[in-house]
Amino acid sequence: MRRLIVIPIVIGTLIASCTLQDTPKLKEGVWKGELAVQDKWAPFIFEVKTMENDSVAVVLKNGDERVELSNVTFSNDSVTIPIEAYDAFIKAKLNGENLEGRFLKNYIENDQGVPFRAEFNQTERFPVVSNPSEIGIDGKWDIHFIDEKSDTTRNVGVFKTDNNTVTGSVLTNAGDLRFLEGNYTDTGLQLSAFSGLSPYLIEISFRDNDNFDGQFYTTRGITKLIGVRNDQASLADPYTLTNMKPGYESLHFSLPNLDGELVSVDDNRYKDKVVIVSILGSWCPNCLDEMEYLSPWYTENKNRGVEIIGLAFERKDDLNYAKSTLSRLINKYNVDYEILFAGQLGDATVQKVLPEIDKLSSYPTTFFIDKKGKVRKIHTGFTGPATGLFYEEFKKDFNSLIDSLLSE
């Protein structure tokens, strides 16, 4: 009887061992990934590494940005790379040193996804040409986005070159395109970025030293670009783009936090204090940039008599869903101020929650409220760390405004 008991255990152990050995593993090191955008592929670089607990992580690399995607899992010949910040994931089949699959979003029902492919040990984002353009893109540019209706929006490009590698970003009044990276071609340059939400690809051709034409590719479509070199390039004043309705000076809202408890801007916690109200969404990259800045700032300054409240408009009108998506961000950025669930993303919801404002044109939008509860300033958008000097200017203005309100 003992032999009959031992044999199945041994066989079971051998089967489990073989199964473990047959489970594919991503090779540690640098990979080049690509996501389909229209009839093009938007490339990005990522690194695969093993963590201390033997789990596998993928690190997305764009310029100076590093986005770590943890909890990578394997099943048979497939790998799943969660992108928790944006409620998305990449699922692909592993074939030696190649991956092929799709980038999918959990919040989209029956999402068909975006085609994805990757190759191990490829370190160049774009092919390196032997005779790169002699015209450099370093500096500031007025960049016009021209859509299908021939409407034009004016934006600002900031770029620098280091050993033929170009980094920078494009600023809009809604935010920025984050960390773009690329290199020169024979006639211009190529730039791309992917930090987990949407792949970007920009192709530029110089007309002369001070002008270029280009195309901006995303999964949603293609937008024509026109660039004009301008050392004084700037956006519209972000404090003039969102306004209170005539006759209104204060905000009044009462919304649930992630524990379901109602929190109001009129609560005792916020009385006689300077209050910052940030309108955000877990789906918004520039909102995450703002949260990454505000969280440590609040830790350093909360004892000065200042408070922060985040109002999150999410993809679903579901507190449990919001708790799932927002809790990850709160933990990631060590947020110590209240994040309230304001409802499902949409103009109607915003008007219901914030009837005092004219219109919300961008995420994030940040309200600065004085000690008497009066809205003194409203800042539209956020210029994040990818924008260099613009980010430094924002921080300087932000702190100057808070100091002024606290001194009153």
Same domain, 305 and 220: no
How far apart are alpha carbons 173 and 156 in whole angstroms? 9
- The domain boundary, picked from 120, 148, 178, lies at 120
Within a domain: 261: yes
pLDDT at 149: 57
CA atoms within 13 A on the CB side of 145: 17
Within a domain: 133: no
Within a domain: 77: yes
- The domain boundary, picked from 177, 196, 229, lies at 229
Provide the residue range defining the domain that includes 324. 254-406
Domain of 204: which CATH number?
2.40.128.120
DSSP annotation string for 143-161: EEEE-TT--EEEEEEEEEE
User: Is 205:189 a contact under the CB 8 Å cutoff?
Assistant: no
408 residues of the chain, pLDDT tens digit each: 444 444 444 434 433 433 444 556 889 999 999 999 999 999 999 999 998 888 999 999 999 999 999 999 999 899 999 999 899 999 999 998 999 999 999 988 889 999 999 999 999 999 999 999 999 999 999 999 997 554 566 799 999 999 889 999 999 988 899 899 999 999 999 999 999 999 999 999 999 999 999 999 999 999 999 999 999 999 999 999 999 999 999 999 999 999 999 999 999 999 999 999 999 999 999 999 999 999 999 999 999 999 999 999 999 999 999 999 999 999 999 999 999 999 999 999 999 999 999 989 999 999 999 999 999 999 999 999 999 889 999 999 999 999 999 999
Same domain, 395 and 293: yes
Within a domain: 129: no
Domain total of the chain = 3
Same domain, 384 and 289: yes
Within a domain: 244: no
Residue burial 58-90, b: 16+ Cβ < 10 Å; e: rest? bebbbbebebebeebeeeeeebebbbbbbbbbb
Within a domain: 4: no
Reported residue count of the chain is 408
SS3 47: strand
Within a domain: 128: no
pLDDT at 325: 93
Residues near 154 by beta carbon (within 8 Å), at least 6 away in sequence: 142, 143, 144, 235
The beta strand positions in 232-283, using DSSP E, are 254-256, 262-264, 274-280
Within a domain: 245: no
- The domain boundary, picked from 120, 147, 165, lies at 120
Same domain, 103 and 155: no
pTM reported for the whole predicted model? 0.88
pLDDT at 59: 97
Same domain, 292 and 383: yes
